[in-house]
């Protein structure tokens, strides 16, 4: 029998290894940014085009590499971070496996310019699919510049699985946030398709968070600090009133490395117990400093999943530390039975003395006395002249003939009646409905009883309404007398720009989306002014979570989100007219049986089922 096991060629092995390290353009951004930080750079520029598919370039002013090091950096398992297996348990750098550049070079076109501070000239290397095409001596600034072009050019199947440019750009932005937030001492610049997205100067942690997520984050942060023998915790948590229904700004960093830990996340949520609703999530930026020997960061290729020696202790410390911070800064409620807040002096009036008002009283005022213009000190009230009021009704009887109804048109409702009620049944219902437990609408039909879930039914009605408006572009907008200004981060404004056309079709109007504060000038008729910010926040959150990885269109996603946020809630009381309108509108929909989220909207209890129950 012939031997069937053989060694794979190097280029095939490199492509397989690249699949573990490089999953999408954001993976390349993460590896290149980490290498720049390990090189000691204090100025890093990130440049991307077409969501990273065409170009990803990272420029730093770090230590640079010599000609030999530049050549070796593209070899597999070539690294300057570790020299023996024991070093894996005492890591203080980002990259250490020596697979990043080799994996990237295996599936892309890579250009590198690098120079050390002591060298007068630098090195230029061009690689295509792991093959070195050119190597030259060039004049280049101190540091390293790596350009990754045409990602997955030699693996078309992997390239086809990439999402749209907007989705890939959001993933790149997420990786950029994770690196920038933990290194505020480094200046970062981020450019996309020639326009600057972020310009982050050197700052402290609180300022860096504000620069990344906008000025509105400044007043939402509560500082957290605790130092124990096991861990040193620093950072910030967001106030409970700013908790979101989606997982938004939630960042854990262990030894200056972004990590994902559902267990520790649960500790943060447990600290907010009783302060936020069960379906909302708090925001936090927590930095953990632990002994490198007590953490294993090499259990996953992306190095985001880590393992701690004693997670139970960490859980308890994080939970108690956050609780202490919330109480220390008077964020958590305090019971004081002797204090009456109604007697507190408003802040704007503290330190001011009471002023006795001057009241002018006209002692000679008489409302029943006619006053001439020459009177002084008397009331100017004058009774209106009502003489000849009977003449107002002359000729009115000739204009309206109350006995003639021949020209009166009545809208036919035979279609609706025919749907629900028997025309030849004298005992049939006359369209009367009632509400059960403020959740269901009950009505009678030919075959029995109809029970409708009011929330799901209204979601279906609004979904088809908004979807039609987006498609036909005939949404009605209610112009606001005073435009509403809402603060949004750059990433949120980018999403609003992507959805601007669809939003305008349903009635949302914006003055500008280029500044940190978004000015809303018009809203759909169904949106109350007090709920504009909530609806837009929910739209952005759903767009981040729902649009990615699904075949759903932007219009359908927008219609679903608006329907979910504006539909009648369970627990709302509806009058008789609203109940009938909801029933009629539901059965006027194209798909009345299911809500937009594929849940049953109504059920029919037949007369036979009722008789069986009563027998």
Q: Which tens digits make up the pLDDT trace of 146-166?
A: 999 999 888 888 888 888 888
Half-sphere exposure of 318 (CA within 13 A, CB side): 29
What average pLDDT score do residues 96-113 get? 84
* Least confident stretch, 11-15, 41-45, 441-445: 11-15
Residue 185 has pLDDT above 70, yes or no: yes
Per-residue pLDDT, 416: 43
Task: Specify the DSSP class assigned to residue 478.
Answer: E
Q: State both tokens at 31.
A: 């590896």
pLDDT band at 181 (very low <50, low <70, confident <90, very high): very high
This model's pTM is above 0.75:
no
* Residues above pLDDT 70, as percent of the chain: 79
- How many H-runs (helices) and E-runs (strands) does the chain carry? 18, 22
* Least confident stretch, 279-288, 307-316, 429-438, 542-551: 542-551
Q: Which of 343-357, 439-453, 501-515 is modeled with the greatest confidence?
A: 439-453
Per-residue pLDDT, 415: 42
Q: Which of 116-125, 216-225, 418-427, 445-454 is modeled with the greatest confidence?
A: 116-125
Q: Return the CATH number of the domain spanning residue range 205-328.
A: 3.30.230.10
Specify whether the CB–CB gap between 454 and 601 falls below 8 A: no
Spatial distance between the Cα atoms of 550 and 535, rounded to a whole number of angstroms: 22
Residue 427 has pLDDT above 70, yes or no: no
Secondary structure in 3-state letters for 270-290:
HHCCCCCCCCCECCEEEEEEC
pLDDT band at 53 (very low <50, low <70, confident <90, very high): very high
User: What are the residue ranges spanned by the domains of the chain?
Assistant: 10-200, 205-328, 434-602
Residue 200 has pLDDT above 90, yes or no: yes
pLDDT digits (tens, 9 = 90+) for 518-538: 888 888 887 887 788 888 888
Q: Return the CATH number of the domain spanning residue range 10-200.
A: 3.30.565.10
pLDDT digits (tens, 9 = 90+) for 433-457: 888 888 999 988 888 889 999 999 9
Residue 210 has pLDDT above 80, yes or no: yes
Per-residue pLDDT, 544: 72
What average pLDDT score do residues 80-100 get? 64
Task: Please state the CATH superfamily assignment of the domain spanning residues 434-602 in this structure.
Answer: MutL, C-terminal domain, regulatory subdomain (3.30.1370.100)
What average pLDDT score do residues 199-214 get? 92
Q: Which of 25, 22, 11 is nearest to 130 (CA)?
A: 11
Per-residue pLDDT, 394: 65
Q: What is the DSSP string of 77-97?
A: T--SS-SSGGGGGS--SS--S
Specify whether the CB–CB gap between 507 and 476 falls below 8 A: yes
pLDDT digits (tens, 9 = 90+) for 61-85: 999 999 988 988 888 777 766 666 6
Per-residue pLDDT, 482: 84
């Amino acid at each position: 029998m012939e031997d069937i096991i053989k060694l794979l060629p190097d280029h095939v092995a490199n492509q397989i290894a690249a699949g573990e390290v490089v999953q999408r353009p954001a993976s390349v951004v993460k590896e290149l940014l980490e290498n720049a930080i390990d090189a000691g750079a204090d100025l890093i520029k990130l440049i991307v085009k077409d969501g990273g598919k065409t170009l990803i370039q990272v420029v730093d002013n770090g230590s640079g590499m010599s000609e030999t090091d530049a050549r070796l950096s593209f070899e597999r398992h070539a690294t300057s971070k570790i020299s023996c297996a024991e070093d894996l348990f005492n890591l203080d750098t980002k990259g250490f496996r020596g697979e990043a550049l080799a994996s990237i070079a295996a599936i892309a076109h890579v250009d590198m310019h690098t120079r050390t501070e002591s060298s007068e000239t630098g090195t230029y290397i061009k690689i295509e699919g792991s093959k070195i095409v050119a190597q030259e001596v060039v004049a280049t600034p101190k540091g390293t510049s790596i350009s990754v072009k045409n990602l997955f050019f030699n693996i078309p199947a992997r390239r086809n699985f990439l999402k749209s440019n907007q989705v890939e750009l959001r993933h790149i932005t997420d990786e950029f946030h994770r690196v920038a937030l933990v290194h505020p001492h480094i200046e970062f610049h981020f450019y996309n398709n020639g326009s600057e997205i972020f310009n982050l100067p050197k700052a402290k942690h609180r300022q860096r968070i504000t620069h990344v997520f906008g000025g509105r984050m400044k007043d939402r942060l509560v500082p957290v600090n605790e130092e124990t023998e096991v861990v040193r915790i620093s950072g910030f948590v967001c106030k409970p009133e700013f908790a979101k229904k989606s997982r938004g700004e939630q960042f854990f960093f262990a030894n200056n490395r972004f990590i994902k830990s559902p267990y520790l996340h649960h500790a943060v949520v447990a600290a907010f117990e009783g302060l936020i609703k069960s379906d909302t999530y708090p925001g936090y930026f927590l930095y953990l400093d632990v002994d490198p020997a007590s953490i294993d960061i090499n259990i996953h290729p992306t190095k985001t999943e880590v393992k701690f020696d004693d997670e139970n202790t960490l859980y308890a410390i994080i939970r108690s530390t956050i609780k202490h911070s919330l109480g220390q800064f008077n964020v958590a409620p305090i019971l004081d039975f002797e204090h009456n807040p109604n007697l507190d002096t408003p802040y704007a009036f503290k330190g001011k003395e009471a002023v006795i008002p001057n009241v002018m009283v006209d002692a000679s005022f008489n409302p029943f006395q006619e006053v001439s213009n020459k009177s002084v000190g008397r009331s100017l009230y004058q009774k209106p002249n009502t003489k000849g009021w009977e003449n107002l009704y002359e000729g009115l009887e000739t204009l309206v003939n109350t006995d003639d109804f021949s020209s009166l048109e009545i809208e036919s409702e035979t279609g609706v009646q025919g749907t629900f009620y028997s025309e030849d049944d004298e005992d049939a219902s006359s369209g009367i409905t009632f509400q059960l437990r403020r959740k269901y609408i009950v009505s009678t039909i030919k075959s029995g009883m109809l029970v409708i879930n009011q929330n799901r039914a209204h979601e279906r009605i609004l979904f088809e309404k908004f979807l039609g408006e987006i498609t036909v572009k005939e949404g009605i907008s209610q112009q606001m007398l005073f435009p509403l200004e809402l603060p949004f981060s750059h990433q949120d404004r980018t999403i609003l720009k992507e959805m601007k056309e669809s939003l305008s079709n349903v009635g949302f109007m914006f003055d500008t989306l280029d500044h940190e504060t978004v000015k809303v000038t018009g809203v759909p008729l169904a949106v109350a002014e007090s709920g504009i910010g909530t609806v837009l926040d929910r739209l952005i959150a759903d767009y981040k979570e729902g649009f990615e990885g699904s075949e759903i269109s932007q219009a359908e996603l927008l219609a679903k989100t608006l329907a979910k946020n504006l539909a009648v809630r369970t627990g709302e009381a509806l009058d008789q007219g609203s109940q009938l309108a909801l029933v009629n509108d539901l059965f006027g929909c194209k798909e009345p049986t299911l809500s937009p989220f594929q849940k049953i909207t109504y059920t029919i209890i037949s007369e036979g089922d009722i008789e069986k129950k009563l027998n």
